[in-house]
């Protein structure tokens, strides 16, 4: 008798395998709005608004990286801030 594998575990294994080949490696220093929100202690939408304001001021960069979001690999916007902007946002650790 053959052992039956469940489709959900097979699907999860396939997604995990394909994610290693299709998704991008995000370099350190790049953040999504979802990652920024807890660091800044605000909501995700407010983090997006702040990132857009820094983009308009020329103090941030935006780049799309393909990452695994839920069950799918999707392009997600990531933001990188200048050292002055990161310091103003409190993303850098103070020197002791």
pLDDT confidence of residue 13: 80
pLDDT confidence of residue 93: 74
pLDDT in tens, 61-96: 999 999 887 778 889 999 999 999 999 988 887 666
Q: pLDDT band at 58, cuts 50/70/90? A: very high
Contacts 24+ apart (CB under 8 A), 49-55: 50/89, 51/79, 54/79, 54/81, 54/85, 55/79
Secondary structure of the chain: what % helix, strand, coil (to 5)?
45, 20, 30
> Is pLDDT at 50 greater than 80 in this prediction?
yes
Q: Looking at residues 8-30, what average pLDDT do you find?
A: 78
Average pLDDT, the chain: 85
**Four-way CATH pick for 26-89: 1.10.357.10, 1.10.3720.10, 3.90.320.10, 1.10.10.10:** 1.10.10.10
| Burial (CB count <10 Å: 0-12, 13-18, 19+), residue 63 | middle
* Annotated domain spans of the chain: 26-89
């Amino acid at each position: 008798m053959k052992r039956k594998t469940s489709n959900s575990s097979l699907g999860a294994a396939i997604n995990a395998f394909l994610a290693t080949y299709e998704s991008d490696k995000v370099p350190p220093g790049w953040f999504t709005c979802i990652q920024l929100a807890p660091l800044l202690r605000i909501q995700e939408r407010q983090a997006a608004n702040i990132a857009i304001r820094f983009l308009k001021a020329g103090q941030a960069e935006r780049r799309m990286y393909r990452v695994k979001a839920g069950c799918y690999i999707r392009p997600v916007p990531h933001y990188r801030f200048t050292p002055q902007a990161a310091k103003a946002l409190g993303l850098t650790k103070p020197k002791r």
